[in-house]
Amino acid sequence: MNLADGVQLVSFGILALMMIGAALGVVLLSNIVYSAFLLGLVFISMSGLYILLNAGFVAAAQILIYVGAVNVLILFGIMLVNKREDYVPVANAWIGTVATASVCTGLFALLSTMVLATPWAISDVVPTGDGAVVALGKHFFTDFLLPFELASVLLLMALIGAIVLARRDFLPDQPQLDQQLTLPERPRELVSGSQK
């Protein structure tokens, strides 16, 4: 093992621990704002793992799109809709816990089967540099066009939903047609004639 391999292994360990710790914080913390910030840390550590895989374009796109757009959108949604409500115990809450556990177990089994069944052999022709960007662009606009566009529609729906939920408090129950909206005026100070 030479120095470069050692640095790469240590970097991988640090990034993996940072990503797993931040992901656990996203799930386990009760404050949703802290969870959103830790989600940004998960995205940043994932971009570091992409850098270790020599995928600089994907790492930059990860930071620009996920940290710069998706995580900021989530934070805006939280800030707009962050309403304090008292905890009310839910009747038959164990049903939700069992359903969540079964879905998570099924996803884990599905992903484990996929990881074990996939041939991870690297092909002889791997595009690098600008060729990798061209290959990614071709895949985005041919093979993965529908998921790419569906993700943008989903983000737009989330933004519109957050705005509707945030503006719900300001909507009156019954419209009043004769009411005029006026802004309160700022009190003016009297200026004497001797002062300029």
Q: What is the pLDDT of residue 68?
A: 86
Nearest of 75, 76, 68 to residue 36 by alpha carbon: 75
Quickly state the pLDDT bin for 103 (edges 50, 70, 90).
very high
- 176, two tokens: 């009043």
Give the tokens for residue 120.
Answer: 């991870």
Encode pLDDT of 34-75 as tens digits. 888 999 999 999 999 999 988 888 898 889 888 888 888 788
Residue 172, pLDDT score: 54
Report yes or no: 80 and 167 within 8 Å, Cβ to Cβ: no
The two three-digit tokens of residue 139, written as one number: 């895949």
Structural tokens at position 80: 């707009």
Question: Above 70 in pLDDT, residue 179?
Answer: no
Is residue 151's pLDDT more than 60?
Answer: yes
Higher pLDDT, 24 or 78: 24
For residue 177, what pLDDT band results from cuts at 50, 70 and 90? low
Are 24 and 44 in contact by the 8 Å Cβ rule? The answer is no
* Mean pLDDT, rounded, for 115-132: 75
Count of all residues that appear for the chain in the document: 196
The answer to whether residues 75 and 36 touch, using CB atoms and an 8 Å cutoff, is yes
For the record, the structure tokens of 163 come out as: 């705005």
Q: Can you tell me the mean pLDDT for 87-112?
A: 87
**Residues 6 or more apart in contact with residue 163 via CB below 8 angstroms:** 80
Round to whole Å and give the CA distance between 158 and 154: 6
How far apart, in whole angstroms, are the C-alpha atoms of residue 54 and residue 49? 9
- With H, G, I as helix, E, B as strand and everything else as coil, classify residue 175: coil
Whose tokens are 């092909």? That residue is: 123
What integer pLDDT is reported at residue 86 of this predicted model? 65
Is the confidence at residue 1, as pLDDT, over 70?
A: no
Query: What was the pLDDT predicted at 137?
Result: 82
